[in-house]
A and B are shown apart, each in its own frame.
Chain A
């Protein structure tokens, strides 16, 4: 069944995340990071940073940090077991650190299909703000297999 295109323009329920050094430490361990500004608060402070630096893809993790990270796909009645990540991109305006509180505000901007509906694509764009200032944005394309 094709996803109803009426969902284009749908707002994703906004959420906020408190970025912690604890989570960044585990992310660094998982990704093999060796530069301590990404996992050691003391090293980050010595480097003149206000906290542990979040690496370039971490906006995505925080965007997922909610009770139902794919709430928008559930609203569209997609089978999350048939989901693949198709594309991901980021624009960066300001670095973010442990101790920051970030607000995520997203919208569905496109829905399309290929191969006679065998692959469906849902595009979500999210703005990330810190105290009202946009620090980055992200664009995710999720693919749903038939």
Chain B
């Protein structure tokens, strides 16, 4: 995988999107294993109902992991300088995640040619679940 050229990209350009399989209870169980996050809010419906919520829901970090895949399918991971996310809505079982990103700024940072990207993880109806940004070094 090679780095995209800084000069060839413009503010407003979109990077290739990523659409996931629907989030299932199995996905949440696998994510609990892989991440080590076994919080019952994501696994135990009885517990969740006792806390006043209707059903288990996805780990926020699962959505951020999908946004990480969006970045690393576009550039090698070592090009990522920073990556941050705000979790704005809960992702429920059955929802398919659509991850998109666009360049919002071209900057020079610590002598490196970088772009700042705005990333969104939304459901298929377009409801944003996570809004993120990342700074990535280009060639």
Contact = CB atoms under 8 A, between A and B. Distances in A.
Interface string A30-43: 11110100000000
Interface in B17-73: 20-21, 27, 30-31, 33-37, 39-41, 47, 50-51, 59-62, 64-66, 68-69, 71-73
Interface residues of A, number: 36
Interface in B70-114: 71-73, 77-78, 80-87, 90
B85 A56 contact: no
B30 A29 contact: yes
A26 B33 CA distance: 7
If over half of B's interface residues share one DSSP class (helix, strand or loop), that class is named, otherwise mixed; here it is helix
Interface residues of B, number: 39
A31 B69 contact: yes
Given A26-B34, A55-B72, A56-B83, A81 B61 contact: no
B62 to A, nearest CB: 7
Contacts of B47: 81
Interface of A: 23-33, 35, 53, 55-57, 60-61, 64-65, 69, 80-92, 95, 139
Top 8 closest pairs, chain A to chain B, by CB: A89-B84, A27-B34, A26-B34, A30-B30, A56-B68, A85-B60, A30-B34, A30-B31
